Structure 1
Amino acid sequence: MKNSRREMMQWSLAGAAAMAFPAMARGQQVYAVTYPGSIDESFKSVLGPAYSARTGNTPTFTPMLNLDLIGKLQATRANPAFDVALFDDGPLIGAIKAGLIEKFPAAGSRFLAGIPPAFRDADGYGPTTAATLIGIAYNPKKVKAPTGWGDLFKPENKGKVGIVGPTSTLGTSFLIELGRTRGGTETEVEPAFDALKALLPNVGAIAPSPGALTTLMQQGQVDIAPNFFNNVAALRAKGADIAFAVPSQGLILQRISVQLIKNSKSPEAALQLADMLLDPEIQAKLEASPWVTMPSNPSVPLTGQNREIAASVDELLKMGRFLDWKRFVDLRAGWIDRFNKEVRI
């Protein structure tokens, strides 16, 4: 998407005036899609008020899973109800193929330059605003601190393990990781399904979503499970009996990117809101307790629970790995179908 001279001029403000948003965006209402749970809560508590203070407008946030969002956007592509949205790596590929999002205008961004290459899209779509980490969540009062994925199979954890299916990013990542420990790859998941079947005696619940899995842990129905670090950290910050273990096999890293919806009725406001998520000041507020979001800007210092994982964003990038979703995204539907048929308790 080419940037007009007007867009370039809008972002040439300096000093105190640079904090003001272009007049053109001031009258635009912006509708943004977040994720259910702590991320939606953090946006409403941090990003919303900050955006209102800078623009005079109040954004509307709607929590929604990516697959549901893609379906809605496909049905209303000429007149979408949303202007900007968060995406995980996998669903983002589908949204791009379906022509539902715009490329991110780098020249119109004040904060993109601070985001490292690992958190930028090679094809020019929206950048990463936060990293999510996949490891092992557990109740430290009920199970021993796990050291690796093999702990899920231990006899003492019979009936205590929770899992989620590959309809979610968490479930797909866990499937691949579990298979990798037994010789599988990102495209060869037969070892993964063998491992899941061997794990079933220990499985106390199969949750329909990561949020539901977190709720099951909070309610004490399961005590150990694969999960996102930010889910665990948000609960722990509220005093829940939950902790996060980095597996000896390493962390799986996932990107949460911000994307501009094609045919938005408020494109300038959408860009303003998206760019604010790259602002170190905003990322620092989201990084702090109780939100404990892992920032994508290396200039944001890690504190609290994030600091327990890594000393900095740069160190975090060395600790884990990203899955190559382009290699297996087209295989995922078959994995979901097979999981639903074969993995039952």
Structure 2
Amino acid sequence: MIRRFAPALIAASLFASHAHAEQPTLYVAVFGGSFEQLLKDQIVPPFEKATGSKVILVPGDTTTTMARMQAQKGKQTLDVAFLDDGPMSQAAQLDYCETLSDAPVYKDLYDAAHFKSNKAVTIGLDGTGIVYNERVFAAKGWAPPTSWKDLANPLYKGHVQFPSVTNGYGIESLVMFARLNGGSEQNIEPGFAAIKASVAPNVLSFDPSPGKISELFQNDSLWIGAWGAGRTQALRNQGVPVKFVAPKEGAMALGLSVCPVKHDAVNALAQKFVQYTLTPDVQALFADEEGVAPVNKHTVLPPAVLAKVPDTATVAAMLSVDWDVVNAMRPAWIQQWNRQIEQ
């Protein structure tokens, strides 16, 4: 673990002027599992202490948070939301997010962190690829997987994990299978056909919740799956014997993003919280605990942590997704997925 008390120092220096204000409350939508625990244990407390605020975490996956913001548009109960970068682009387009206030920290970020809308920002870069159970593979004398097509290998029947397309890793995996079979975001049918015919028969679980996936890998029910580099590293940190592989056909880029949720008036504290997540010391915590590559150029990581995150070459080689197309089609794809794949 690294620099455990640094967030307290950076928060105090950034927000000392708020220390004696009346206690406000921030409701922050977060990914569940290890991400929620990291914020609860190490990131939120220094912010609360420095600002005199109370931060209430609202766990859920991207689809759940998007649905909440859609239902509450114009009367939002959330103040800050973490989402995958694709749905975050849609949230910005739908005016769920407030324009980011100017702050020095934004000048310290890599270009990939910025959204064209300037209503959200990426806090860490992840990749979608293959996760496998090192303990099982070693016991059986198998070589590590190298390809997306390994998910269709009958050798793994009944022991494959493939997340639902309500999940960011799931939607990117669907797009990848479409591309591998002559399709694309604009022509997704080859992806559905390939998954239905060759992957779905192998699948034990479509559940995208980190807790369930951790349990199934830990008890050796799962041997291989489609998942993210960051989430895989979070499981490794918990002692789960899993390892991430960037498939030879390419891993898919996926950013973890945050935005201040739009209200009638700009919420200055929500803006400060977003800025706080981008400071080097908080970025280092995201890298250490969640395995995502930092977006702040000034983040310094020790060698042990550098080994956990996608390196520069891996990030540069990642494939991108046309989120404008995916966001427009995603509701229909979810319905088709439920009918054809998880029926």
How would you bin the TM-score normalised by the shorter chain?
A: 0.7 to 0.9
CA offset at residue 35 of structure 1? 0.5
Amino acid paired to 1:277 = T
CA offset at residue 283 of structure 1? 0.9
Equivalent of 1:342, from 334, 340, 343? 340
Count of paired positions = 326
**Alignment pair present for 1:19 and 2:17:** no
1:7 corresponds in structure 2 to none
CA offset at residue 344 of structure 1? 4.5
Q: Distance in 2 between matches of 1:339 and 1:243?
A: 27
CA offset at residue 286 of structure 1? 2.6
1:85 corresponds in structure 2 to 81
Task: Report Cα offsets for 1:86-138 as digits up to 9, x if no partner.
Answer: 12123223323432211112x2x231111111110012111111122111111
1:237 corresponds in structure 2 to 237
8 A Cα contact 1:170 1:210, kept in partner:
no
- Does the C-alpha gap of structure 1 residues 24 and 124 become closer, same or farther in structure 2, counting only changes over 3 Å? farther
Identity within the alignment, %:
23
2:253 corresponds in structure 1 to 253
- Does the C-alpha gap of structure 1 residues 339 and 40 become closer, same or farther in structure 2, counting only changes over 3 Å? same
2:68 corresponds in structure 1 to 72
8 A Cα contact 1:137 1:225, kept in partner:
yes
Q: Distance in 1 between matches of 2:86 and 2:135?
A: 35
CA offset at residue 183 of structure 1? 1.9
CA offset at residue 66 of structure 1? 2.7
Amino acid paired to 2:269 = A
1:117 corresponds in structure 2 to 111
CA offset at residue 309 of structure 1? 5.1
Task: Report Cα offsets for 1:116-175 as digits up to 9, x if no partner.
Answer: 111100121111111221111111122331011122222322222121221211111000
Question: Structure 1: which 5+ runs fail to align?
Answer: 1-14
1:275 corresponds in structure 2 to 275
Q: Distance in 1 between matches of 2:96 and 2:247?
A: 36
Q: Distance in 2 between matches of 1:119 and 1:88?
A: 12
2:186 corresponds in structure 1 to 187
Amino acid paired to 1:156 = L
Q: Distance in 1 between matches of 2:202 and 2:271?
A: 44
- Does the C-alpha gap of structure 1 residues 241 and 292 become closer, same or farther in structure 2, counting only changes over 3 Å? same
2:7 corresponds in structure 1 to none
Amino acid paired to 2:316 = K
Given the two structures, how large is their TM-score scaled by the length of structure 1?
Answer: 0.85
2:207 corresponds in structure 1 to 208
Amino acid paired to 2:339 = K
CA offset at residue 204 of structure 1? 3.3
For the residue of structure 2 that corresponds to 1:322, the secondary structure is coil
Q: Distance in 2 between matches of 1:119 and 1:224?
A: 30
CA offset at residue 264 of structure 1? 6.8
CA RMSD in angstroms comes to 2.6
Amino acid paired to 1:111 = V
8 A Cα contact 1:157 1:202, kept in partner:
no
8 A Cα contact 2:174 2:191, kept in partner:
yes
Q: Distance in 2 between matches of 1:114 and 1:257?
A: 16
8 A Cα contact 1:139 1:224, kept in partner:
yes
Amino acid paired to 2:64 = D
8 A Cα contact 1:73 1:80, kept in partner:
yes
Amino acid paired to 1:258 = V
- Does the C-alpha gap of structure 1 residues 342 and 103 become closer, same or farther in structure 2, counting only changes over 3 Å? same
